[in-house]
Structure 1
Amino acid sequence: MKYQHEITIKRSRNEVVEKFSDPENMEHWQKGFIFMKPINGELGAAGSQNLLKYEMGKREIEMTETILKNNLPNEFSATYEAKGVYNFQINRFKETTEGHTVWIADNEFKFSGFMKLFGWFMPGAFKKQSYKYMQDFKAFVEDGKSVKNE
């Protein structure tokens, strides 16, 4: 399953990328985020890996992030692997003539095992969650709104 989302953030590209690339900010725009722990390589560098943990409903989900390319402010691409789910994501940040930033996120999901059924019957759930993270990031950058205590 492949899809793309785009959102305009009314802040400079430098400010957007600074907040996007700081792991300390993840708890403010990724609801359910518990922690990120570096497990291999230099934090943020291509080839490095991180363990990410989320609370989703009553379950905790762990995934491994592998950074493929980090040439911000232009592009950040990574894979995210959890049990039965593989996600390849490319994030690009473009400046507008008004000095705002357009965040374009391309996602490709692949499923295995039981998750194949979930991906087949509920593809909208993945698309909706991806866009919700983008909306929450926009609210965090523009208004300082955090999802941490929701």
Structure 2
Amino acid sequence: MKYSHEIVIELPREKVVELFNNQENAFKWMKGLDKWDHLSGNPGETGAKSKMVFKSKRGEMTIEEEITRMELPDVINFVFTSKGVKNWNDNRFDIISDNQTRWTQNNVFKFKGMVWVVSILMPKAFKKQSLANMHDFKSFAEGAEKS
């Protein structure tokens, strides 16, 4: 499955990237993020790997993250891997104006096992979740600037 989303954040690109690239901020906008442990590589650089643990009413989910391309302020790419799912995630940050940034996110998903069945029955759920995460970051970032 492949899809893209984009949103406009009412902040300069420099500020958007600074907020996005700060791991501690993720706990403020990624719903359910409970732990984030560094596994290998230099944190915040291409090749770095981490383990993220999310908790929800449905239980706990562990996701491994690998930074595959770090060329900020323009691009940061990840590969996220969890049970039955692999997600290549390409994020681009473009200047629209002095106080506006376009965040474009391209996703490619590969599924195995029962998750493959879910992806066939409910493909919109993945797209909806990605867009919700982007809007959660936008709300956090724009709110953080006002604080």
TM-score band w.r.t. shorter chain? over 0.9
Q: Which consecutive unaligned segments of at least 5 residues does structure 2 have? A: none
Take 2:46 and 2:126, find their aligned partners in 1: how far apart are those partners? 25
RMSD (Å) for aligned C-alpha atoms: 1.2
Per-residue deviation at 1:97?
A: 2.7
Equivalent residue, structure 2, for 1:81: 81
Count of residue pairs brought into register by the alignment? 145
2:60 is aligned to: 60
Cα distance in 2, alignment partners of residues 99 and 144 from structure 1? 14
Give deviations 1:27-61, integer Å, cap 9, x for gaps: 11111111110000110111110001111332100
- Would you say the 8 A contact 2:12–2:97 is kept in 1? no
C-alpha distance in 2 between matches for 1:20 and 1:65? 15
Kindly report structure 1 stretches of 4+ aligned residues shifted beyond 4 Å.
none
Q: In percent, how many aligned pairs have the same letter?
A: 37
1:110 corresponds to: 110
Unaligned runs of 5+ in 1: 146-150
Alpha-carbon displacement from aligned partner over 1:52-97 (angstroms, at most 9, x marks no partner): 1111332100011011000111000010000000000000000013
Cα distance in 1 between the residues matched to 2:144 and 2:58: 27
Q: Secondary structure at the match of 1:53?
A: strand
TM-score by length of 1: 0.93
Counterparts in 2 of 1:36-47, with a 5 A limit? 36-47=36-47
Specify the alignment match of 2:90 in structure 1.
90
Query: How far apart, CA to CA, are the structure 2 residues paired with 1:102 and 1:5?
Result: 10
Distance 1:60 1:93, change over 3 A: same
Rounded to whole Å, the distance in 2 between the matches of 1:97 and 1:62 is 38
**Distance in structure 1 (CA, Å) of the matches to 2:19 and 2:97:** 21
The answer for the alignment partner of 1:23 in structure 2 is 23
Determine the C-alpha separation between the residues in 2 that align with 1:49 and 1:97.
33
- After superposition, give the CA deviation of every residue in 1:91-139 in whole Å (9 maximum; x if it has no partner): 0000013531000000011100111101111111111110011101111
TM-score between the two structures when normalised by the length of structure 2: 0.95
Q: Does the aligned pair in 1 maintain the 2:88–2:108 contact within 8 Å?
A: yes
2:13, 2:100 within 8 Å by CA — same for their partners in 1?
A: yes
What code does the residue aligned with 1:130 have?
Answer: S
